Amino acid sequence: MRHTIPGITFFLVAALAGGCATTDGKAAVEPKQSGTATVKLEKAKTETKEAVQASQDYAYAQKTEFVDKMKKDLTGIQEEVDRLSVRVDKSSGAAKADAKIRLEEVRQKWAQAKKQLDQAESATEATWDNVKGGVRKSYGELKDSFDKTRQWLSDKIEA
């Protein structure tokens, strides 16, 4: 949705601009009508800017839902890490120490993602896109680390 409105507007502007020339390269519009084409082009540019602004407003308007969803996702990962930690504590063998190190790395990534999420809660409209990008990046790193650690534990430690 975010990229649809500017994309459609771009194609409309391109079509409008393309319609102003003939195939031989000469202007299809008389000089006295070129003012109309300029006005239409300026109007299209203004509409594009307004559409981009509207999509940014919409994204910022969804801040609460985004933060709530991310909190829920982080809580779920934290619960899974706690379960894996209990499983590691009950295990024995050479992999136990290595598993604890891997789980600690996941916990550190979780803390980074939580810190980014805390910043998102207090983000302003001007900083929202950057903060949201930071949250998504840190959450992606957390999720990747968690998935790899869970898979490694499944391979190394029996239930």
Provide the pLDDT for residue 52. 52
Same domain, 69 and 130: yes
Q: Are 126 and 111 in contact (CB under 8 A)?
A: no
Same domain, 23 and 100: no
The residue with greater pLDDT, 37 or 144, is 144
How large a percentage of the chain has pLDDT more than 70? 65
The region of weakest confidence among 9-13, 52-56, 85-89 is: 9-13
pTM of the complete model beyond 0.85: no
Q: Are 77 and 142 in contact (CB under 8 A)?
A: yes
Same domain, 92 and 68: yes
Domain that holds residue 116: 63-156
- Over the chain, what is the mean pLDDT? 78
Same domain, 69 and 55: no
Provide the pLDDT for residue 155. 87
Same domain, 86 and 136: yes
